[in-house]
Amino acid sequence: GAGVSQSPRYKVAKRGQDVALRCDPISGHVSLFWYQQALGQGPEFLTYFQNEAQLDKSGLPSDRFFAERPEGSVSTLKIQRTQQEDSAVYLCASSPTLGRVSTEAFFGQGTRLTVV
């Protein structure tokens, strides 16, 4: 497809279960972002990749959260030992990087995670 694709769209996990959320960015996009969005809130930055390099992971809320992008394309956000407070929509965005030109980012529709 032409846009950013995220899977699954919905995930229900039992507390303590590990989950993996996938993001397929637009082909050729260098930058990739992950966000967490709680109900009624704005997206909260989690982490940023430039190609395969994770340049900023300052937004990851705990060491239970881990993200990777090993080949500079598909990215996976993994949450270990899920807790109820992890329930949120997880958004992925990709963006081309054109040096000094600031460009738009394209968002997926998100994965809604519910921890029960």
What is the contact surface with another protein in residues (CB under 8 A)?
A: 4, 31, 33, 35, 41-45, 48, 50, 55-56, 91, 93, 95, 97, 99-110
Nearer to another protein, 80 or 105 (CB): 105
Phi, psi of 79 (to 5 degrees): -120, 120
Nearer to another protein, 45 or 66 (CB): 45
Q: How far is the CB of 16 from another protein (least distance, A)?
A: 28
Structure token digits, residue 16: 């303590």
Q: How far is the CB of 15 from another protein (least distance, A)?
A: 25
Nearer to another protein, 48 or 65 (CB): 48
Q: How far is the CB of 72 from another protein (least distance, A)?
A: 15
Q: How far is the CB of 55 from another protein (least distance, A)?
A: 5
Nearer to another protein, 16 or 97 (CB): 97
Residues 37 and 110: their CA atoms lie apart, in Å, by 9
Q: How far is CA 76 from the centre of its chain?
A: 7
CA distances from 105 to 25, 28, 34, 89, 115 (A): 10, 13, 12, 18, 29
Residues 28 and 20: their CA atoms lie apart, in Å, by 23
Q: Compute how many other C-beta atoms are within 10 angstroms of the C-beta atom of residue 53.
A: 9
